Structure 1
């Protein structure tokens, strides 16, 4: 295992993020230190960063240097975006940083900044075709990708800090200022002919998008944690924007879900999102917690290429990370996938339910992670499994799908399933609830068939016999424990199917 670090010098904030890297290519964020610098406000009319701005930057970088030394990381990849890129004295800034902090500042081009945001989105979300918007302090990057391939990108030389400076002069925005801002944004968007009426999802990257999502979650009393892959409708964005605009900064600071340091810049961000949504005719707005820095580390970890350019691969990498983190036995996980797949497939062929490709996939993901919560406590493994998976970001899954997966992977019985989903009364239809229960019952049986985690079941044959089902289980070792657990737990599947099940264990 090794460590790496990225210093991201943005126009609004400066961050240091430290990662652990593993031999199999995985990486995990272990430290994330943020400093609000507002460097954009120190950029004068001559487009030079003032001495006060340079001093603030150097002070933050020196602080970061101490953290890097503590973690025994000799060098970080230090990147700068719009403000330093646009600064006339950028070479002097780079020299001062090297002299006083030993950090080599790499100025990202507009194209690079857009690309790394796109790379993070296709590597960590379900989006196959979408627009992305990453609005920073001094620039706004917009991309369009189709089938996860980048088609268009553009960097606007404005961001939330510069828009505030240009259009909002007091402690709140006036109606005239608002109209001027709207006209400006519409004119800017019209310069990109590929944006108009695109009618695809928009993926919002960065702090402003996260804050809009957090406001909505607070207002909805949202049931689970996390904003990554969270969906907002156009009406929701419009509503939040309309709620914020009459308020002054002191009132905005009190809005639940909003970071205090964004109180004065959330207004232009909300307007940008609203106007872009309407201009493109977007289908929905999804938030990505992964952005520029994640794109950089993905490239660093050699996670680019075909294996992350489809949704199944994105999910697979995330499942792999969960299995590693919660010490799931890889051999047992593969056996669970095999057993669950065989049960589901053969029951489908027998006419008990219709096999669909997406159903089989979610069943297999659930099998790989079944009773993940055993890592914390075996006695309450079901409860821990549901809570962890429902409240943890899983790349490639929308929130609704994540709760569905948590329900299947934690299945204990019908009563516990109802208890877990009690706080999600409108998330699933009655038919979907039935399918979740059926899948959970299949996994419960599969888990029993590998009770000792020795993978002794080599073959499984299911046949109809009158009004019941016969499970012929072929083993290559003593099956006493597996038989006991299966006879005990088969009732869950019997109730789901409304059919008696006879288990016949054999040693081959």
Structure 2
């Protein structure tokens, strides 16, 4: 009998202890099936002599036992547990690891700062298409910075500055933080960064941010801006937005921060120090922007442990792997049919692009939509277009900026011009001029390509496309007539005429008939 491989990943961080349970199916599909999160604040439980307090170790032991039970419930085949800065920096590190491992029966690895940077960078490279940039991971007790050039890690370093120990160092209490203290925090961060000269030698690169501080900032910004898309992975922020948010949060008490919509209550007392670290990095690197990476250490550990051969070399390979994973998770159509629809859609696009102008990303959007247009039938065949749109906006996949993800979903789910406008109405703030017309045109091309393989027999070996007046002449190379495809083309002719001003006419080249 075929088996799924289920793996538990435990990250014992300085601020938070997290669990992620990943399921890897025999067809290569993978997904998270359970998660856990506990605000441990280990960095705040260090004695003056650098030892982690006994009470914190006992509490951590209970949390790890709980996570082990969750893993057992899911029938995990292996658990990989790692510890980061707080335990790494503890004077009693070895005794902590021995005690924890003995109590829960799981070997615990202590990651070096360089290990953290490498694994975090790997998570980003597997889920985002950036070629160059600084990858940063602001944790509770440390911050890792990697320099990425041509998708290779050139430098990596870990600094002992995080949202928890910075809060302790600068004695941030429950009251507002004075501007003088913010200034001192910035100065300290930049003094730390100045120890590595390469950090300031690549101005203008983006900063790709991992970790709870950056994610918390993104959620706050999205909530305030009423951002219409429920994704933080790939969300973009400017330096002035980080600066403004830092000053706003510093000016109010911890109690008021905890009541802010979108901010987790257990982050209210450490968010200011975390943002001070982030802003210091942005200024020191002279970064062009900060982009949120929703993946992190646990994801990097999963890829390293379970998919060691997956090392995407380009943005395109990130997108294609994400599409492959989605179609493996939701196998709603034969692969041969999806490939045929993609081929026909590209043929139509290339012929029409000789007469009509398209933006550079149009073909990528069409090909992406062609591979995913049937995914909504995983919910129900009826109203599958609506299900497709919903799933592609609420399912985890990578490789496209938010606006392009939205457009690809609307193209894949296209059923009519009216339905397209209704789908996109809540997302107007993300759209550019001409996007709705583009989605309608590409959506009808995808409709037409699907109609040309309605029998799912891949009967058309080649397609000639001619424009004659207001007619779109489709000459199919097939060895038999195509009555089902003929009816399908006729049924969508009105929508195609609305979008293109052309009426499609399908015929079969007679010399190919038996």
One fold, TM greater than 0.5? yes
**Maintained 8 Å contact 1:450/1:456:** yes
Instruction: Give the Å deviation of 1:114.
Output: 0.4
Query: How far apart are residue 295 of structure 1 and its match?
Result: 0.8
Cα 1:87–1:364 shift into 2, 3 Å: same
Check if 1:386 corresponds to 2:398. no
TM-score calculated relative to the size of structure 1: 0.95
The alpha-carbon distance between structure 1 residues 305 and 484, as it changes in their structure 2 partners (threshold 3 A), is closer
Q: 2:149 pairs with 137, 146, 149, which one?
A: 146
- What CA distance in whole angstroms lies between the structure 2 residues aligned with 1:353 and 1:74? 54
1:334-349 aligned at under 5 Å gives the runs 334-348=339-353
Q: Give SS of 1:425's match.
A: helix
In the alignment, what sits opposite 1:184? 188
Given that residues 29 and 328 in structure 2 are in contact (C-alpha distance below 8 angstroms), is that contact kept between their aligned partners in structure 1?
no
Partner of 2:233: 228
Moved more, 171-180 or 124-133: 171-180
Question: 2 CA distance for matches of 1:357 and 1:181?
Answer: 44
Task: Please say if residues 134 and 147 of structure 2, whose CA atoms lie closer than 8 Å, have aligned partners that are also in contact.
Answer: yes
Aligned ranges 1:204-243 → 2 under 5 Å? 204-243=209-248
User: Is 1:37 matched up with 2:49?
Assistant: no
Query: Equivalent residue of 2:457, what SS?
Result: coil
Give the gaps of 5 or more residues in structure 1.
Answer: none
| Per-residue deviation, residues 102-130 of structure 1 (Å, max 9, x unmatched) | 12111111111100000000110122211
Deviation at 1:162, TM superposition (A): 0.1
8 Å Cα contact 2:303/2:310 also seen in 1: no
Mean alpha-carbon deviation: is it higher for 7-16 or for 170-179?
170-179
Separation of aligned partners in 2, 1:371 and 1:454: 16
User: 1: distance between equivalents of 2:73 and 2:498?
Assistant: 58
- Paired residue for 1:323, among 312, 321, 327? 327
Q: Confirm or deny that 1:58 pairs with 2:61.
A: yes
Equivalents in 1 of 2:85, 2:28: separation in Å? 31
Pairing partner for 1:417 from 417, 420, 445: 420
SS of the equivalent of 2:473 reads strand
Structure 2: distance between partners of 1:85 and 1:295: 19
C-alpha contact 1:26 1:301 (8 A) present in aligned 2: no
Question: How far does the alpha carbon of each residue in 1:334-372 deviate from its partner, in whole angstroms, 9 at most, with x for none?
Answer: 111111011111222xx3224676322221111111142
- Is 1:299 aligned with 2:336? no
Residue 469 (structure 1) aligned to one of 467, 472, 497:
472
CA contact (8 A) 1:48 1:89 kept: yes
Q: Is residue 279 from structure 1 mapped to residue 284 from structure 2 by the alignment?
A: yes
Q: Which moved more, 1:279-288 or 1:427-436?
A: 427-436
Matches within 5 A, 1:452-467: 452-467=455-470
Q: Tell me if 1:76 matches 2:79.
A: yes
Q: State how far apart, in whole Å, the 2-side matches of 1:490 and 1:342 are.
A: 18
RMSD over equivalenced CA pairs, Å: 1.8
1:135–1:269 contact (8 Å) kept in structure 2 = yes
Report if the CA contact (8 A) 1:483-1:505 is conserved.
Answer: no
Q: Does 1:174 align with 2:178?
A: yes
The residue correspondences of 1:305-316 to structure 2 (distance < 5 A) are 306=311, 308-316=312-320
Given that 2:28 and 2:328 are in contact with CA atoms closer than 8 Å, whether structure 1 keeps it comes out as no
Contact 1:123 1:309 in 2 (8 A): no
Contact 1:457 1:473 in 2 (8 A): yes
**CA 1:15–1:371: 2 relative to 1, 3 Å:** same
- Between the aligned partners of 1:502 and 1:12, the Cα distance in structure 2 is 64
Cα 1:357–1:251 change in 2 (3 A) is closer
- Give, in whole Å, the separation in 2 of the partners of 1:298 and 1:165: 34
Q: What is the aligned length?
A: 505
State the Cα distance separating 1:252 from its structure 2 match. Answer: 0.2
Alignment of 1:388-407 (within 5 A): 388-407=391-410
Deviation at 1:305, TM superposition (A): 5.3
Q: Which residue of 1 aligns with 2:131?
A: 128
1:477-492 correspondence runs (5 A): 477-492=480-495
Q: Which whole-Å CA distance do the structure 2 matches of 1:367 and 1:68 have between them?
A: 37
Deviation at 1:427, TM superposition (A): 2.7
Confirm or deny: 8 A CA contact 2:219 2:263 kept in the other structure: yes
Contact 1:160 1:268 in 2 (8 A): yes
Shift of 1:283: 1.6
Which residue pairs with 1:496 in the alignment? 499
Q: Alpha carbons of 1:112 and 1:496: their partners in 2 closer, same or farther (altered >3 Å)?
A: same
**CA deviation after TM superposition for structure 1 residue 225, in Å:** 0.8
2:454 is aligned with 1:432 = no
Go from structure 1 to structure 2 and tell me whether the alpha carbon gap of 1:378 and 1:22 turns closer, same or farther (over 3 Å shift): closer
Residue deviations 1:11-38 (CA, integer Å, cap 9, x gap): 1111222111123544221111111111
